[in-house]
Amino acid sequence: MQVLVRAKNFIITKAIQAFSEQQAGKLTKKFKRIIRVETFLETTRSRAKATVKAVIPGKNIVVEKEGDNVYQAIQASFNKIARALRKKGERTKSHKK
């Protein structure tokens, strides 16, 4: 699995890169079919916004969340994408029956 991290208005540090890779690693424990995770970070004066895109077979899942800082935004968006992936998995299991 590839993990891509991009940012607008600031430079990505090694800590931000490592945190994003750690969160993406948690996704792959439960969802084996993820091909790539793309994270786009953007900051304003008081808020940070993270957009996470999970590239999977079929339709890709895109989630956008805001937080007080970059780490909170990343954490919130990965939590939301984990819920979306779980729902997608449940729907595919129910269709197979």
| Average pLDDT per block of 10 residues along the chain, 97 residues long | 90 94 88 91 92 91 94 95 84 63
* pLDDT tens, residue by residue, 30-50: 788 899 999 999 998 889 999
Residue 65: what pLDDT?
95
* Beta-carbon-side half-sphere exposure of residue 81 (alpha carbons within 13 Å): 31
Specify the pLDDT at position 14.
Answer: 95
User: Which range marks the domain in which residue 89 is found?
Assistant: 2-96
Residue 96: per-residue pLDDT: 60
Give the per-residue pLDDT at 67: 93
In sequence order, what E strands does the chain have? 2-8, 36-43, 48-55, 61-67
Find the CATH number of the domain harbouring 60.
3.30.160.100
User: Tell me, what's the pLDDT at 92?
Assistant: 63
Count the domains in the chain.
1
pTM, whole model, 2 decimals? 0.86
